[in-house]
Structure 1
Amino acid sequence: MTGEAENDCLFCKIVAGQIPATIVRETETTLAFRDINPQAPTHVLVIPKAHYKNAAELAAGAPQLAADVLAATQAVADDEKLDSYRTVFNTGAGAGQTVWHAHAHVLGGRGLEWPPG
Structure 2
Amino acid sequence: MRVDDEDVYIPPRPKERSSFEWLGIITLAIVLGTFITDGIRLLAANAWMNYQFEQLAEELRSSRAEARQQAEVRREELRAQESERKMQSYECRFWWEQHQANPNAKNNAKKMQSCGE
TM-score normalised to structure 1 length: 0.19
Larger-Rg structure: 2
Higher strand share: 1
Higher-RCO chain (CA-CA 8 Å, sequence separation at least 6)? 1
TM-score normalised to structure 2 length: 0.19
